[in-house]
Amino acid sequence: MKTLRQYLDETPCEKPLKDLIELIAYQSIPIRDAFIDNQTYAGTENTYGEEQAALDKWADNHLISVLGESGLVQEIASEEQADIVRFPDALGKYAIVMDPLDGSSLIQVNLAVGTIIGIFRGKNALQKGEDLAVAMYMLYGPMTVLTITTGDGVSTFALNSKGIFALLKENIQMPEGKIFGSGGTRNEWLPGHQNFITHCEQKDGKLRYSGSFVADFHQILTYGGIYCYPATQGKTDGKLRLVFEANPIGFIAKQAGGAISDGTRDLLTVVPNKPDHRTPIYVGSKKIVESVESCMRGC
Ligand code: F6P
């Protein structure tokens, strides 16, 4: 059994970065423990006007407090915070982007949800996705799994009965596959996106969409295919966020041989203009993501 720490010791990551990765990964234990007591909505909205689940707030407060106390982090851009949280006295020089609990509408129905994290070297959380040092997510499904890249391939670990992340799969390569799923309601899709979905259906694509980006992506990482949250009528920037969601997941996709696009360009090359920068998202196997761009102009 190779543990997360043993795996990290084989990478060129510096010790404080390895410590930070482990610290974050093992917060999946208290976050998962908090599910039972945080099944309701918090009665508040986040910056995006979305109702916050109690667990959204719990996980956000918990991670900010643990990361602040670590002294390793200068900045945190969290989906649940209107502004960047800063720790100017920290000795460490890392910036975190995070969605503390992605897919939170599924908490009350006990479907898989996750925590998405990106780590940049330096003090600035608003960097291009391609400059991430680390991208990772913890997925709370039947197992708690950690998927991670430190910029040299993608690996997945499972939390075992001793509370240790043990290696499940190394050097994961995303196959070309047939799964597709799209957010937004069909009658609000724009013509280019409609063309693309018709193209997937004509190619015998298999529709799968759970309402949890991290869970849907984890499936695509294994079987191949595409997750889409498009621009829609009235919401031409889509729903998901470049900083907290698209970039860490896109970085993992690219490391596994896949790609991420907004329908016109590689999202990892886009400099965020603000923490809540929204974007249409197409992420998955390389060829199918490439086909989105031509379908936008008519398949
Ligand atoms: O960004 C949050 C999120 O919950 C994603 O995890 C998920 O894929 C999407 O929104 C679901 O949105 P909708 O309910 O509009 O399908």
Whether 273 maps to a domain, the answer reads: yes
Please tell me the predicted confidence (pLDDT) of residue 75. 98
CB atoms within 10 A of CB 12: 8
Residue ending a domain, among 169, 195, 221, is 169
Ligand 1 centroid, distance to 186 Cα (angstroms): 15
Nearest residue by C-alpha to atom 16 in ligand 1: 183
Residue 88 maps to which CATH number?
3.30.540.10
- Does 11 lie in the same domain as 154? yes
CA distance 82 to 112: 26
Please tell me the predicted confidence (pLDDT) of residue 6. 98
Identify whether the C-beta of residue 120 lies closer than 8 Å to the C-beta of residue 131.
yes
Paired strand residues for 141: none
Q: Which of 98, 105, 111, 277 to mutate to test the pocket of ligand 1 (most atoms within 8 A of CB)?
A: 105
- Does 194 lie in the same domain as 243? yes
- Does 193 lie in the same domain as 114? no
Please tell me the predicted confidence (pLDDT) of residue 41. 76
Q: Which of 51, 212, 237 to mutate to test the pocket of ligand 1 (most atoms within 8 A of CB)?
A: 212
Residue 109 DSSP label: G
- Does 142 lie in the same domain as 62? yes
User: What Cα–Cα distance (Å) separates residue 62 from each residue in 42, 65, 209?
Assistant: 15, 5, 29
Identify whether the C-beta of residue 165 lies closer than 8 Å to the C-beta of residue 159.
yes
- Does 158 lie in the same domain as 258? no
Please tell me the predicted confidence (pLDDT) of residue 145. 98
- Does 279 lie in the same domain as 200? yes
- Does 139 lie in the same domain as 22? yes
- Does 122 lie in the same domain as 144? yes
- Does 193 lie in the same domain as 149? no
Ligand 1 centroid, distance to 125 Cα (angstroms): 23
- Does 157 lie in the same domain as 13? yes
- Does 191 lie in the same domain as 147? no
Please tell me the predicted confidence (pLDDT) of residue 49. 74
Whether 245 maps to a domain, the answer reads: yes
Whether 174 maps to a domain, the answer reads: no
- Does 281 lie in the same domain as 147? no
Please tell me the predicted confidence (pLDDT) of residue 162. 97
User: What Cα–Cα distance (Å) separates residue 191 from each residue in 152, 175, 233?
Assistant: 38, 28, 10
AA letter at 241: R
DSSP 154-187: EEEEEE-TTS-EEEEESS--PPP--EEEE-S-GG
Please tell me the predicted confidence (pLDDT) of residue 161. 97
Give the range of the structural domain holding residue 139, as residue numbers without chain letter. 4-169
Residue ending a domain, among 136, 169, 202, is 169
pTM higher than 0.85: yes
Residue ending a domain, among 151, 169, 187, is 169
Whether 131 maps to a domain, the answer reads: yes
Per-residue exposure over 251-288, b if at least 16 CB sit within 10 Å of its own CB, e if not: bbbbbbbbbbbbbeebbbebebeebbbbbbbbbbbbeb
Dihedral sign of CA atoms 125, 270, 279, 249 in order: negative
> Domain count of the chain?
2
Please tell me the predicted confidence (pLDDT) of residue 254. 98
| Residue stretches of the chain with pLDDT short of 70 | 48
Give me the half-sphere count of Cα atoms (radius 13 Å) on the Cβ side of residue 233. Answer: 8
* Pairing of β 94-102 and β 113-121: antiparallel
Which tens digit of pLDDT belongs to each residue from 211-255? 999 999 999 999 999 999 999 999 999 999 999 999 999 999 999
Ligand 1 contact, 141 CB (< 6 A): no
